[in-house]
Structure 1
């Protein structure tokens, strides 16, 4: 942002919404939760009110799992197919590969091949 402010990442956003949900669940009204959150997280009362409103509307948020860069080398033709599939499905390459690997690994270990 041009004025030096930084947008909270998805994990930070979820944590702040969940903190707001805790306050609301304990009986603190949204209007009173906002200044508490603003002080706790060093953000504006206006932004804190957005966290409280989100918590009031949808409850707790799912905190996304931390990601890491994992580089692999693929045959060029396979990389092209992965990019095409991601584009056609409206997904990202990372999301597509993560889903494919998760499904593959969920099938369990296969018996080792006999030679």
Structure 2
């Protein structure tokens, strides 16, 4: 267990959801932790954390992300950085939300083929 890296969000979701599946099947939390430890090659302590998180239910597996580079006017880029900082979020999260909202709105306003 010398690999002491943090797992990504997708791996975390996979492990918590595996724990949730065991718990839903009636496996006691201590036994679920033992099974998770062996399955994922993690310490019993870490496996217990996954099982404890699974008590609240399954977690959403995040969609993979890609780098998407755009050029923005300097003033807009700076306003975006400031807004992200003020909201306590990342630039990526702020832009993802704004772009998603725009695309939903654009799709709702577009004429449909009849």
1:12 maps to 2:26: no
Aligned equivalent of 2:40 = 41
Q: Give deviations 1:13-70, integer Å, cap 9, x for gaps.
A: 11100000000000000011111111111111111111111112x1111211111110
C-alpha distance in structure 2 between counterparts of 1:28 and 1:74, whole Å: 53
Using structure 1 for the length normalisation, give the TM-score. Answer: 0.87
Gap regions ≥5 residues in structure 1? none
Instruction: Report the RMSD for the aligned CA atoms in angstroms.
Output: 1.4
Aligned equivalent of 1:98 = 96
In the TM superposition, residue 5 of structure 1 has moved relative to its aligned partner by 1.8
Using structure 2 for the length normalisation, give the TM-score. Answer: 0.88
In the TM superposition, residue 101 of structure 1 has moved relative to its aligned partner by 0.4
Q: Give deviations 1:54-105, integer Å, cap 9, x for gaps.
A: 112x111121111111000001111111111111111111011001100110
Segments of 4+ moved more than 2 angstroms:
108-111
**Within-5 A mapping of 1:1-115:** 4-56=3-55, 58-109=56-107
Gap regions ≥5 residues in structure 2? none
